């Protein structure tokens, strides 16, 4: 029997970023699932605070070199990779000088969120999916973690749905308590529209708050997971009302087994 393939797209992974509920799940879940016989690929942004020398990142020349166009501007997509030796697991990094070479993750040293976080999320989501196409790797499940990955479900359902690599892919979105405080740039609604998409597809972005950004990810996903013990109550209610397959919060001791069983249900 062919191994099931799972694509992990995460905003945070330890040890590259400090430990949090999301970074720990994104680190240990792929390893645990891989040990159960699944095939995995794992992606995160290459923030400027990720030490390339200490973590032994190196560029994957055969995957780098394409440009992604955002607002009529070409942005080079650079792919880097590192190995977590103890896990026998690789992590791919989406890199770009304009978006990810600052030392903070989503806000500056004063705690002010970056004005271009909308474009950073857009570049990250498209960068991962375009790289997977270049790898010619067809995931059975695409598991997204954190709002930086929230555009992936939209793109899979409204732009890449005819690509044979993604035709059978089920999208799972894990919700955490990692909100941004001020709305994203209101122009994001136009920026995300790729060929064949219409403004109706992104009505959630009429008011691009964190809640609406997450609601859009929920709307376009096939299944949902509560990754943090506490999440926004309104978002929690929206998830319940969606009627989609849902996995409640799992403890550190149980989450790998529970998530793997959930994947089986979704397949």
Which DSSP string do the residues of 133-163 spell out, in sequence order?
A: HHHT---SEEEEESGGGTHHHHHHHHTSTTS
pLDDT 10s digits, 141-162: 999 999 999 999 999 999 999 9
Which of the two residues, 198 and 87, has the higher pLDDT score?
198
pTM, whole model, 2 decimals? 0.97
Q: What are the tokens at 171?
A: 């999208």
Residues 25, 19: Cα–Cα separation, whole Å = 10
Mean pLDDT along residues 184-200:
96
pLDDT at residue number 211: 97
What b/e readout covers 51-74, taking b as 16+ CB neighbours within 10 angstroms?
eeeebebeebeebeebebebeeee
Across the chain, mean pLDDT equals: 95
Q: What range defines the domain where residue 170 resides?
A: 5-266
pLDDT in tens, 39-82: 999 999 999 999 888 999 999 999 998 999 998 899 999 999 99
Does residue 1 carry a pLDDT above 70?
no
Q: What is the CATH number of the domain that holds 201?
A: 3.40.50.2000
Split into its structural domains, the chain has a count of 1
The 10s digit of each residue's pLDDT in 16-42 is 999 999 999 999 999 999 999 999 999
């Amino acid at each position: 029997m062919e191994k099931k393939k799972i694509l992990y797209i995460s905003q945070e992974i330890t040890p590259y970023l400090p430990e949090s509920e999301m970074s720990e799940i994104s680190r240990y879940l792929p390893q645990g699932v891989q040990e159960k016989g699944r095939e995995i690929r794992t992606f995160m942004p290459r923030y400027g605070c990720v030490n390339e020398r200490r973590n032994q990142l190196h560029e994957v020349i055969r995957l780098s070199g394409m440009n992604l166009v955002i607002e009529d501007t070409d942005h080079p997509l650079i792919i880097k990779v590192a190995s977590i030796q103890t896990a026998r697991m690789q992590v791919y990094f989406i890199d770009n000088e304009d978006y990810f070479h600052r030392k903070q993750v989503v806000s500056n040293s004063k705690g002010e969120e970056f004005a271009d976080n909308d474009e950073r999320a857009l570049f990250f989501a498209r960068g991962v999916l375009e790289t997977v196409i270049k790898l010619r790797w067809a995931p059975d499940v695409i598991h997204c973690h954190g709002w930086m990955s929230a555009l992936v479900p939209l793109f899979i359902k409204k732009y890449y749905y005819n690509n044979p690599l993604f035709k059978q892919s089920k999208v799972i979105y894990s919700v955490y308590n990692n909100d941004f405080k001020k709305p994203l740039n209101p122009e994001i609604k136009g920026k995300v529209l790729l060929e064949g998409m219409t403004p109706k597809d992104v009505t959630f972005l009429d008011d691009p708050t964190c809640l609406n950004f997450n609601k859009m990810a929920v709307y376009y996903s096939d299944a949902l997971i509560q990754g943090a013990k506490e999440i926004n109550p309104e978002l929690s209610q929206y998830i319940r009302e969606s009627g989609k397959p849902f996995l409640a919060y799992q403890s550190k001791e149980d989450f790998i087994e529970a998530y793997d069983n959930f994947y089986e249900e979704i397949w």
